[in-house]
Structure 1
Amino acid sequence: MNPFPVYDSRLSASHLGLFLQEKYPLKDPILCRILKTGINHSYLLKDGVNRKIFRLYSYNWRTKREIEEELRLLSLLHESGVPISYPIADATGNFIQEIIAPEGLRFGVLFSFAEGEKIRNFTDDMSYNIGVAMARFHQTTQDLALERVTYNEETLLLSPLQRIKTSFAADSATMAFVESTTHSLVEKMKEIRSDQVRFGTVHLDIWFDNMHVTPDGGVTFFDFDFCGNGWQALDLAYFNVQLFNTEPDPDEYQRKLQRFLEGYETVTLLSPEEKRLIPYLAVCLWFFYLGVQCQRFDDWGNLFISEDYFKRFIELIRKWCTKQAIFE
């Protein structure tokens, strides 16, 4: 009997540890355990007191060329002193491992471990330091082009809209809001004064789950899986969104946001046009990631993607639009 086709598999952590021990100069004993599942799978690797992270990309999620470009970016950032988790080559100098999983060929990369821990609620000083680190990243990558996705009206709005429409009721008031707001945002994007907005490489996923903070406030970014080309103000918009989601107190939110921006502008100044765009780009990113959730439905299951979730998600966007006085 032939094996039944597999959509996605979770590799044995113990066997993966042995595989990595053959590839990298690691010490005995090796401890490998699953750390996080989702679109990709992350494994924690320990040899003695040393820790590393092995990311196993999902089948057909990223091409080898896209991963190579991600690693090219990370190498540049590491060499420039930007605080990031960087890729580690194996004993033969290769950065990308090829693993034949039950579903097919998957790629994997070993990364340095970011010291510190994930902190959901930032202090004012942490917000400031995140702003500094993000600005250093943007300063290093302004005008840099990657052979990866470019974030624009099509990739941020129109393609996600088509995915969203296949997952939720087409005739609901919630969907009507999504459609009308999407088309309004497309028109807003056409008004952008490009000469006043920096373009380059963006992370597009900088939030508490993708950074570690040390006790002395040092910040290290990781998980550049969504990196690509775009307006660098997108990263500021995304941080703004995540702060809005995690800080319920309006005064605390405003103070931490101000500290973040102060930290950012110690490195590079934001133009008035970039500041004007941030509230609109934030809504673009909400729609983009809702589209990703629909695209990768099988990674989370139907309890996550439901009509009730859809309504709550959109109500949060409505609340943001009201606070920012846009689309009134």
Structure 2
Amino acid sequence: MLDFEARYSTPQVDTIERFISKNYALAGSVSCRMLQRGLNDVYLVIASDGGRYVFRLSHQRSRGPADVKTETAFLTHLSQSGVPVSAPIPTRDGTLFLTGNAPEGPREGVLFGAADGRDANATDAGDAWANGETLALVHNAAETFPIEQTVYRLDLEHLLHRPLARIRDSGIVEDAEVLSDLENIAARTAKAIETFSNLTWTYCHGDCHGFNSRINDAGKAVFFDFDDGGPGYLAYDLSVFLWAKISFGRKLATMWDAFIKGYRAVRPIAADDYEAAHRFVIVRHFWLMGEYASRAQEWGDNAVGWVAREANFLRTWESEQLVDRLF
């Protein structure tokens, strides 16, 4: 009999409960239920005193292991700086993350306090404004965060060139002309971004699309899900919100205006960073396409096949920026 090797396993919930009870000093016993399976496995954790937490079990992606050491250090810094975030909970021995063994190899686990509030509304200008405000607070606090050695840098190699290679290597895009279009769009986008002489560098959230937040009773956006973050372009961090409002057929550009107003209420945006953010929309889409393409052997072609159909969106957005940009 042949033994199959695991590419991505899903732990039993009771093993997650035992793992948390063993390593964290929560009140009494805990109960868990899975919230999400995908790029990471995410569980809602409820302690016997009613305390609510979120446990995230990272999955090793094609880019490599999760940089939980830097992520949890940054989140702790943000929390101590008064930025509304879901902060990591220390283990019994004071560490902020753990590693467990799964059939496919080691996976990193982090326990967070559950963010209070309601889900952000994609069409609510007030929620968009609140997301912009909190991202500005993140970038302000990043100025006093001692970035040392990190696993990832959110540069064009990480965000654009490697994702393009994953798309190419996956075989999802079978049409040679479409693949050539993608390569040409990526090359033009990189060249356009490199013409900006002084783009701001910061520690990025990395995934601020509007849904990695909850709106608390004070109307503030409480951020979570920083695992795609790292030192990188501020313009990219801004662009993710814009991308979320105009990609996949959405027509919510007015939410981008509200988001920018919320950001500027706290922190100014340099002209080059604002202009470059529109170019980084294409970079963001390539990043997502590359993430999905790298999972073709895990999720199957049916789940990631949309990647082969995205050249038209990228061409359209590119022409709008070059010829008749509306922003």
TM-score (norm 2): 0.89
Q: 1:143–1:199: 8 Å Cα contact kept in structure 2?
A: no
Provide the C-alpha distance between the structure 2 equivalents of 1:156 and 1:237, rounded to a whole number of angstroms: 12
Contact 2:239 / 2:281 at 8 angstroms: preserved in 1? yes
1:296–1:126: structure 2 CA closer, same or farther, 3 Å change rule?
A: same
In structure 2, stretches of 5+ residues that fail to align are: none
1:21 aligns with 2:10: no
Using the TM superposition, name which of 81-90 and 51-60 deviates more.
51-60
Cα distance between partner residues in 2 of 1:119 and 1:72: 26
TM-score of the superposed pair, with normalisation by structure 1: 0.89
Q: 2:236 maps to what in 1?
A: 234
Relative to structure 1, the CA distance from residue 254 to residue 63 in structure 2 (aligned partners, 3 Å threshold; closer, same or farther) is closer
Deviation, 1:117, is 3.2
For residue 89 of structure 2, what is the aligned residue in structure 1?
88
1:316: Cα distance to partner?
A: 2.5
Conservation of the 8 A alpha-carbon contact between 2:245 and 2:253: no
SS of 2:119's equivalent in the other structure is coil
Kindly tell me: are residues 111 and 193 of structure 1, through their superposed partners in 2, closer, same or farther at Cα, counting changes over 3 Å? same
**Counterpart-to-counterpart distance in 2, 1:21 and 1:74:** 23
Displacement of 1:54: 0.8
C-alpha deviation, 1:168, in angstroms = 3.0
CA distance in 2, matches of 1:94, 1:142: 24
Shift in Å, 1:258: 1.6
Aligned to 2:312: 315
Q: Tell me if the contact between 2:98 and 2:110 (Cα under 8 Å) persists in the aligned partners.
A: yes
- 8 Å Cα contact 1:8/1:103 also seen in 2: yes
SS at match of 2:304: coil
Cross-structure match for 2:291: 292
* 1:10 is the counterpart of 2:10: yes
- In structure 2, the partner of 1:41 is 41
In the comparison of the two structures, how many residue pairs are matched?
320
* SS of residue matched to 1:107: strand
* Match in the other structure for 2:126: 125
Other-structure match for 2:69: 68
Instruction: State how far apart, in whole Å, the 2-side matches of 1:200 and 1:276 are.
Output: 17
Contact 1:153/1:189 (8 A) holds in 2: no
Match of residue 194, structure 2, among 173, 190, 198: 190
SS of 1:209's partner is coil
The yes-or-no answer on 1:164 pairing with 2:167 is: yes
Match of 1:223 in 2: 225
Contact 1:128 1:263 in 2 (8 A): yes
Gap change, CA 1:169 and 1:96, over 3 Å in 2: closer
1:42 offset after TM fit, Å? 0.8
The alignment's C-alpha RMSD in Å is 2.4
User: Equivalent residue of 1:316, what SS?
Assistant: helix
Tell whether the 8 Å contact from 1:98 to 1:107 is kept in structure 2 after alignment.
yes
1:178 aligned partner: 182
- CA change 1:264–1:247 in 2 (3 A) is farther
After superposing the two structures, state which structure 1 stretch, 235-244 or 118-127, moved more. 118-127
Give the secondary structure class of the aligned counterpart of 2:106: strand
Partner of 1:262: 261
Measure the CA separation in 1 of the matches of 2:258 and 2:160: 30
Q: Distance in 1 between matches of 2:302 and 2:189?
A: 29
| Displacement of 1:74 | 0.8
Q: Note if contact 2:84-2:221 (Cα within 8 Å) is conserved in structure 1.
A: yes
Distance 1:316 1:142 in 2: 35
Distance in structure 1 (CA, Å) of the matches to 2:64 and 2:219: 33
Output the amino acid matched with 2:208: I
Name the aligned partner's letter for residue 14 of structure 1.
D
User: Offset of 1:55 from its aligned partner?
Assistant: 0.8
> Structure 1: which amino acid aligns with 2:292?
Q
* Identical pairs, percent: 25
Do the aligned residues in 1 keep the contact of 2:30 with 2:45 (CA within 8 Å)? Answer: yes
Match of 1:52 in 2: 53
What is the letter of the counterpart of residue 30 of structure 1?
V
1:29 offset after TM fit, Å?
4.3
Contact 1:54–1:109 (CA under 8 A) maintained in structure 2: yes
CA positional deviation for 1:229: 1.5
- Distance apart, 1:255 and its partner CA: 3.0
Q: CA 1:27–1:70 in 2, change beyond 3 Å: closer, same or farther?
A: same
User: Aligned partners of 2:21, 2:69: CA distance in 1, in Å?
Assistant: 22
User: Is the Cα–Cα contact under 8 Å of residues 139 and 202 in structure 2 kept in the other structure?
Assistant: yes
| Distance in 2 between residues matched to 1:289 and 1:281, nearest whole Å | 12
The CA deviation at 1:247 is: 8.1
